Amino acid sequence: MKSLVCIGLIVSMVGSTSTAIASTPNSSVLSKTPTSISRINTVSSVKVQGKKLVSQDNLLSAELNVPVISGLLNFELQKQINSVLERDAISFKDKVSKLAKEYDAEEIDPEFKRLPFCVNIDYKVSYNRNNFLSLYIDYYEYTGGAHGSTTRKCYNIDLKTGKLLNLKDIFSKNSNYKEIINETIKTEIQKNPEKYFEESFQGIVDDQCFVVEGNDLVIYFQQYEIAPYASGILEFKIPFSKIKK
C-alpha cells in the first residue's frame, strides 16, 4: 500500500508537467571544458540504459532509475561518469532518508498515521551523437504535506574527456546566445504573463539547466523559479539556427 501512495504522488506530478532534484552534490569528476556541437551529426556508439535501485521500509519508499553509460572506448572514463551519476542519485536518496528518520523521531499524536516519504529518480536522453551526450535527471521527493517537489538536473557531457559543459562551453566567445535566449524567453512570457511571477525572469544564469534536443536548445526552469508550482518545470525551445555560433 505504501508503494501505491508513492506512485500516486508521482503520477500527479507528471500530470502537472513537473519533474525532479532538490539538492544534489556537485559532480566534480565532470569538470568543464570548451567544445562545439555544431559538427555533431554522426550516431554515437555510446549507449545509455537505466539501472533500477528499489528499496522500501516503513519510513521511505525509493525507486531510482539511474542512467548507465556503456560503449565508451575509454573504460576508465566511462566508469568515472557512471560513478558520478549513481553517486548523485544515492546522495539524494540518503538526504531524504535522513529527513524521514528525523521526522519519525518527533513526538506526535499516536492516532496520526504518517505516510512514508518517497523518492523517485528518472532520466531522459535528448542527444547522443559524436561524443556529446545530453540528458536530464529528474529528482522527485515527497516529505509530507499536500504534494511533493521535483527538481531537474541537466548533464551535458563531452564523452571524449568526461567534462560537464555549461552553455558558454558550446558556443564561441562572439556568440549572441545569451541575448537570443533571453529575448526568446521574454517574448514567450509576454504571451501569457499571468502564468508567471511578476518580473521573475531576469535572464539566464551561467549554470542554467539545458539540454540539446535535435536542432534545438532547450532551457529549463525549476518549480517556483519563475512560475507557481502548478506550472511544473518550464521549458523553452530555441532553434540553434537563431543563434550565432
pLDDT in tens, 150-198: 999 999 999 999 999 999 999 999 999 999 999 999 999 999 999 999 9
Section 59-78 average pLDDT: 96
**Polymer length of the chain:** 245
Residues 6+ apart with CB under 8 A from 146: none
Section 147-152 average pLDDT: 95
Tell me what pLDDT residue 10 has: 38
Backbone angles phi, psi at 51, to 5 degrees: -110, 115
Tell me what pLDDT residue 170 has: 94
Positions of E strands within 42-159: 47-56, 60-70, 117-129, 132-142, 149-158
Q: How many CB atoms within 10 Å of residue 109?
A: 6
Is 206's pLDDT higher than 50?
Answer: yes
Higher local confidence (pLDDT), 81 or 38: 81
Q: Are 33 and 158 in contact (CB under 8 A)?
A: yes
Give CA–CA dist 123/116, Å, rounded: 23
Give CA–CA dist 69/67, Å, rounded: 7
Task: Please identify, in words, the CATH class of the domain defined by 2-172.
Answer: alpha beta
Q: What is the pTM of this model?
A: 0.82
Is 7's pLDDT higher than 50?
Answer: no
Work out the pLDDT band at 122, boundaries 50, 70, 90: very high
Work out the pLDDT band at 239, boundaries 50, 70, 90: very high
Give CA–CA dist 181/237, Å, rounded: 9
Is 2's pLDDT higher than 60?
Answer: no
Backbone angles phi, psi at 209, to 5 degrees: -75, 125
Work out the pLDDT band at 107, boundaries 50, 70, 90: low
Residues 6+ apart with CB under 8 A from 94: none
Backbone angles phi, psi at 173, to 5 degrees: -60, -30
Listed in sequence order, the DSSP H helices in 133-238 are 177-191
Pairing mode of beta strands 117-129, 47-56: unpaired
Is 148's pLDDT higher than 80?
Answer: yes
Is 33's pLDDT higher than 70?
Answer: no
Among residues 41, 54, 142, 137, the alpha carbon closest in space to that of 96 is found at 142
Tell me what pLDDT residue 196 has: 95
Give CA–CA dist 3/187, Å, rounded: 42
What average pLDDT does the structure give for the chain?
Answer: 85
Backbone angles phi, psi at 157, to 5 degrees: -115, 130
Tell me what pLDDT residue 214 has: 93
Is 31's pLDDT higher than 80?
Answer: no
